Structure 1
Amino acid sequence: MALTPRLDLRQSQSLVMTPQLQQAIKLLQLSNLELTAFVEQELERNPLLESEDGDRADPADQPEQPETRADAGADEPILDGPGTADDAMDVDYDNLYNNDSAADGIGGEAFADWSRGGGGRHDFEDGDANLEQTLADGATLRDHLLSQLNMDIHDPADRLIGLHLIEMLDESGYLIGDLAEVAAKLGCDLGRVEGVLARVQRFDPSGVFARSLKECLALQLAERDRLDPAMAALLDNLEILARRDLPGLMKVCGVDAEDLSEMISEIRALDPKPALRFDHAVAQPITPDVLMRRASDGGWLVELNSDTLPRVLVNSRYYAKVSGVARNKDEKSYLSERYQSANWLVKSLHQRATTILKVATELVRQQDAFFRHGVQHLKPLVLRDIAAAIGMHESTVSRVTSNKYLATPRGIYELKYFFTQAIGSNDGGDAHSAEAVRHRIKALIDAEGRDILSDDRIVELLKGEGIDIARRTVAKYREGMNIASSVQRRREKSLGV
């Protein structure tokens, strides 16, 4: 066979990531703040785009608010999308997102500052502040605590409780609000909320989630293993410390002057407002992308938050005017490209809105039991479940659920928080949620008498109930709930602890 150059014609199909498709995918994963910034840049760049609240906007072009129902067991919702600009380019969007596979001494001014409420100081240290400590590192308290929450708490229900507690922090890191209200809102026991609070109070910075100055200082001392009876008595009498009644303090604490001096030095080294080192913007409320409310017939109505939707229009009349007086080919080409780009942006924003609404509606439908009965009824859910129900790719659902928030009667949640792991069934039945399995493990251990249940025995009992679970999974869940091993529990039983 001779090796000679030749020309061949072949036909093939391939997915081409055009700039327009890349832009549409980028818009889908942007948060509402990022989207607003992007649209503002496009308004400055494209002379054919204008904001809908501009002077030239036609009131007849106002978009309708998308709204849909989300009833458990209902058919696929019909979406009423927002209106589009006149003379928009005809583009097939059916599969736009579906083809994406790819102390020194006692006393001092600190006591006066303390009794006055602190002023502008963040701690009890004397002397000038270190300039380096005043530099902001850009980190926010909420992000810092969320990263610890995701790493230390694996139970999805406990994570939701922890998320609520994070949102209840003031700018100093103190917990404001009533725990009973959290329990009522989430439909769970008060004891469970208190248990999650005890776990998050071990987060960094030390002293965060305290409900009083005494508790804040006690948390920091406990972390340093310095919360002995004498120190506890000192914390119980902070008002005596503020009055600088040293003889009275020595009497109630049962210590001499030297010990009291050391104790006061330790107290002054603590931080009474542990969160002030972080960005204060964490106290700002989240603006939800999707709103949810109960319908008159008992179902749920899901709609987009109009405050987060950018409103842009294509000025077709201006395009027709300037294109008619274009002087050369380059000017006509530029105007045509700007016109197509403007139309594509309007359609991409419309598709983004309807896609977010469709995903949120399906999430509400599948997690209906949680919204009705509380956190213990979270359903095991993965991206594939939502993608299959609405006919989209998993990567699309992943983008939609990131940095998008849903306002519900039980609070504001990021969409991704509704995805929980599932534990399979060994009898062919429905899968069990990981949260429900954790509750069952805890119930078995709480009910044990003299016969301590090993992890292997718990596995046998769960399999007898139709739950297919491995021993290492039982151990992981048990450790996640801060339950000691069978050996430790047996030892504590024998000691009568």
Structure 2
Amino acid sequence: MALQQRLDIRQSQSLVMTPQLQQAIKLLQLSNLELAEYVDSELERNPLLERDDGTGWNDAPTTGVDREEAPAPVNEARVADTVELATSDRMAGSNDAPLDTDYENVYTNSSAADMDSAGLGSGEQFGEWSSRSGGFDEEGEGFEATLTERPKLRDHLEEQITMDLGDRLDRMVAYALLDHLDEAGYFTGKLEEVAAQLGCGLEQVENVLLRMQRFDPAGIFARTLAECLGNQLREKNRLDPCMQALLNNLPLLAARNLQQLLKVCGCDAEDLSDMVAEIKALNPKPALAFDFEPVQTVVPDILMRASPGGGWIVELNTETLPRVLVNQRYHSRVTSGARSKADKEYIAEQFQSASWLVKSLHQRANTILKVATEIVRQQDAFFLHGLQFMKPLILRDIAEAIGMHESTVSRVTTNKFLSSPRGVFELKYFFTSAIQGADGQAAHSAEAVRYRIKALIDAEKADDTLSDDKIVEILRADGIDIARRTVAKYREGMKIPSSVQRRREKALGL
């Protein structure tokens, strides 16, 4: 076979993603925090972009001229900001191309009849719908503003060192020991190293540590969990020999080995149950009461509330939408002053990039609202009656209902949160696998089955714990066809011990 070079002409089709489309897809899967960081970087890079702070328009923020009344350059239409594009009358616009190629029309409906005419069906007691952007009008300060500042643990301990330790060398040892305290309140260093560092005797370091173990909060400066709990019990005058034996055998307590605990403690089951109850009332991490940092609550992207006429109102949270606009006045000024070809090309490129970013943000908000609206419609029974009524749902169900691709729905539901009357949920939470019904027709959501298993275990009696096989029988009697290994997997996923361990726990009063 001869080897030679030649030129051929071939015709083929391929999908080429432009940089603008790549940017739109990237924005779609970002969370609100990641989106804010991305917009901030674009504001720094692009001189034609500016943030709408509500004080005015473009480069004249002190004039107080309303944006709608500000004069626009000739032949240059003003580009609306992202929040204005996300209003109810804009969200349903058919001229705004979606991020998904299969997506044609923005789905909005005002009644169950409209849903039926669109071929989407209507949920039970769904009622009237309203899909728009906006936020709840809530007055008052946020939760963080009501928190009081808690004292610092080091400051609290240093005050006690100053008051309780009069000897100067003891104070030096105490400050050295203080440097080895972890966030839970345990001493993690080695006494020999502290003694060698300060050039003092090991006995003196041990004595100072024992004195510091009597500091507030109780249990501080313990070296082990048993020592931490023992110091708290000693302060309450409850550290008797039986209790000390129990603390020395905490691994047996963790394993729920009732018979062995009764043997090593030398007491009956009633006394052992009382001692376990006392241990449960103690604080295994005494330092966590200090240096408190408020938990950062999730800021939802979608807000949902009941409609006065029945059904639900689904809105975008405008607090998570960046207010970005194109500075048309500045663009007109620099365009008229540009002389070189490179300057004109740079200005045109930045103007195109800024306009595309605003449009991409609008498309992102539009797509999120459509997907969230359909999820709420599909899971209407869950919001009305609770977790046991959640229906099985996969990405394809939403994609087919609103005319999008599954990959688009997957990106939309990543790191996006919905605030509902039943709490704040990630959109991914509503997608659960289906478990076949015993009749071979009705399907049950895996999340609803988990809820059912947990409810059965919570309601069981101490002398009649349910085995996995018994739970399978009960579920099959309720029309849920499930295997024993699936019940065991769900139970272990919820951190629920086996029936044998639960029986031991209930015998100990746990």
Q: TM-score, normalised by structure 1?
A: 0.58
Q: Helix, strand or coil: the match of 1:413?
A: strand
> Judging changes above 3 Å, is the alpha-carbon distance between structure 1 residues 48 and 444 closer, same or farther for their aligned structure 2 residues?
closer
AA aligned to 1:385 is D
1:243-262 Cα offsets, whole Å, 9 max, x none, are xxxxxx3xx65569x99xx9
CA distance in 1, matches of 2:157, 2:409: 44
Structure 2, unaligned stretches of length 5 or more?
A: 59-65, 69-79, 104-150, 162-173, 184-215, 249-280
CA distance in 1, matches of 2:96, 2:424: 35
Do 1:28 and 1:399's aligned partners in 2 also have CA atoms closer than 8 Å? Answer: yes
Find 1:291's aligned residue among 303, 312, 315. 303
Find 1:128's aligned residue among 176, 180, 192. 176
> Judging changes above 3 Å, is the alpha-carbon distance between structure 1 residues 277 and 25 closer, same or farther for their aligned structure 2 residues?
farther
- CA-CA distance at 1:129 after TM superposition: 5.5
AA aligned to 2:8 is D
> Judging changes above 3 Å, is the alpha-carbon distance between structure 1 residues 293 and 456 closer, same or farther for their aligned structure 2 residues?
closer
Partner of 1:477: 490
Partner of 2:91: 81
Q: TM-score, normalised by structure 2?
A: 0.56
- CA-CA distance at 1:362 after TM superposition: 1.8
Do 1:422 and 1:434's aligned partners in 2 also have CA atoms closer than 8 Å? Answer: yes
Partner of 2:287: 273
Q: Helix, strand or coil: the match of 2:408?
A: helix
Matched, 1:432 2:467: no
> Judging changes above 3 Å, is the alpha-carbon distance between structure 1 residues 363 and 448 closer, same or farther for their aligned structure 2 residues?
same
- CA-CA distance at 1:297 after TM superposition: 0.7
Q: Determine what percentage of the aligned residue pairs are the same residue.
A: 55
Q: Helix, strand or coil: the match of 2:155?
A: coil
Partner of 2:393: 381
What is the CA RMSD across the aligned residues, in angstroms? 4.9
Do 1:67 and 1:301's aligned partners in 2 also have CA atoms closer than 8 Å? Answer: no
Find 1:59's aligned residue among 67, 79, 87. 67
Do 1:65 and 1:82's aligned partners in 2 also have CA atoms closer than 8 Å? Answer: no
Q: Helix, strand or coil: the match of 2:325?
A: strand
Partner of 1:307: 319
Do 1:67 and 1:303's aligned partners in 2 also have CA atoms closer than 8 Å? Answer: no
CA distance in 2, matches of 1:122, 1:397: 53
CA distance in 2, matches of 1:393, 1:227: 56
Do 2:102 and 2:403's aligned partners in 1 also have CA atoms closer than 8 Å? Answer: no
- How many residues were matched structurally? 360
Do 1:82 and 1:350's aligned partners in 2 also have CA atoms closer than 8 Å? Answer: no
> Judging changes above 3 Å, is the alpha-carbon distance between structure 1 residues 13 and 131 closer, same or farther for their aligned structure 2 residues?
farther
Q: Helix, strand or coil: the match of 2:300?
A: coil
- CA-CA distance at 1:34 after TM superposition: 2.2
Which structure has the larger Rg? 2
CA distance in 1, matches of 2:26, 2:391: 30
Do 1:294 and 1:301's aligned partners in 2 also have CA atoms closer than 8 Å? Answer: yes
Matched, 1:343 2:355: yes
CA distance in 1, matches of 2:5, 2:57: 61
1:208-260 Cα offsets, whole Å, 9 max, x none, are xxxxx99x979x99x946799x888657x3xxxxxxxxxxx3xx65569x99x
Partner of 1:42: 42
- CA-CA distance at 1:349 after TM superposition: 0.5
Q: Helix, strand or coil: the match of 2:391?
A: coil
Find 1:323's aligned residue among 314, 332, 335. 335
AA aligned to 2:23 is Q
Partner of 1:203: none
Find 1:403's aligned residue among 407, 412, 415. 415
- CA-CA distance at 1:296 after TM superposition: 1.4
Partner of 1:358: 370
Matched, 1:25 2:25: yes
CA distance in 1, matches of 2:371, 2:426: 13
AA aligned to 2:360 is S
> Judging changes above 3 Å, is the alpha-carbon distance between structure 1 residues 11 and 316 closer, same or farther for their aligned structure 2 residues?
farther
Partner of 1:95: 100
- CA-CA distance at 1:32 after TM superposition: 1.8
